[in-house]
C-alpha cells in the first residue's frame, strides 16, 4: 500500500473517531432539531454522510454514482453511515485499483464529511447537548478503526 493510500485510511479513521463522538448519546429528539428554516437537521446531515461514503466507494471502484437516501432514525442512520465508511475503508485496504486519486477522494467526499461532522457537533451545542472538547492530537486513532465503537478519549476538557 502506498503512503497516500495509508494516509487516506488514517484520515477516514480520524473521521470515524470524531463522528462516533458527536453521534453517540445524542438526545432522543436531536435528529429532528432545527436551528433555522434553512439549516439541515442533524438527521438529514447524517443521511448525507452515509450518501458521501456510498459515493466515495463508487468513485474508488470506477462506477461513480450519487444517490440521495432517505433520512432514517438516529440509530439506523448511524449504523448506515458506519457501514458505508467500513466498506470504503475495506476497499482502500485492499489491493484493488483506485479509479481516482487519493487527493480527489480526500478533497471530495472525505473533506465534505469532516465538515458535516463538525456541523453536527455545533448543532449539539446549540441544542443544549454539547460534547466535550478533546485534544485530538493525543487520541488513539489508527487506520482501519472505522466503527462507532472507538477507544476512549485520552484527554478531554470542558
| Mean pLDDT, range 4-32, rounded to an integer | 97
103 CB burial (10 A radius; 0-12, 13-18, 19+): exposed
Query: Model confidence over 52-76: pLDDT tens digits?
Result: 999 999 999 999 999 999 999 999 9
pLDDT confidence of residue 158: 77
Question: Distance of alpha carbon 37 from its chain centroid, rounded?
Answer: 24
Q: What is the pTM of this model?
A: 0.95
* pLDDT band at 32; cut points 50, 70, 90: very high
* pLDDT band at 1; cut points 50, 70, 90: confident
17 in Cβ contact with 114 (< 8 Å): no
Mean pLDDT over all residues of the chain?
A: 97
Domain-by-domain residue ranges, the chain?
3-25+41-149
Helix 3-23 / helix 111-126 crossing angle, nearest 10 deg: 20
pLDDT confidence of residue 65: 97
Amino acid at each position: 500500500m502506498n503512503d497516500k493510500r495509508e494516509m487516506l485510511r488514517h484520515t477516514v479513521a480520524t473521521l470515524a473517531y470524531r463522528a462516533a463522538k458527536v453521534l453517540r448519546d445524542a438526545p432522543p429528539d436531536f435528529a429532528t432539531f432545527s436551528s433555522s428554516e434553512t439549516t439541515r437537521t442533524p438527521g438529514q446531515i447524517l443521511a448525507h454522510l452515509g450518501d458521501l461514503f456510498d459515493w466515495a466507494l463508487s468513485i474508488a471502484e470506477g462506477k461513480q454514482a450519487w444517490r440521495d437516501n432517505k433520512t432514517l432514525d438516529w440509530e439506523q442512520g448511524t449504523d448506515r453511515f458506519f457501514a458505508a465508511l467500513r466498506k470504503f475503508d475495506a476497499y482502500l485496504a485492499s489491493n484493488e485499483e483506485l479509479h481516482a486519486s487519493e487527493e480527489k477522494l480526500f478533497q471530495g467526499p472525505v473533506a465534505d464529511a469532516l465538515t458535516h461532522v463538525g456541523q453536527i457537533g455545533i448543532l449539539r451545542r446549540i441544542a443544549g447537548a454539547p460534547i466535550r472538547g478533546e485534544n485530538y492530537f493525543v487520541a488513539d486513532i489508527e487506520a482501519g478503526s472505522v466503527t462507532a465503537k472507538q477507544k476512549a478519549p485520552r484527554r478531554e476538557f470542558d
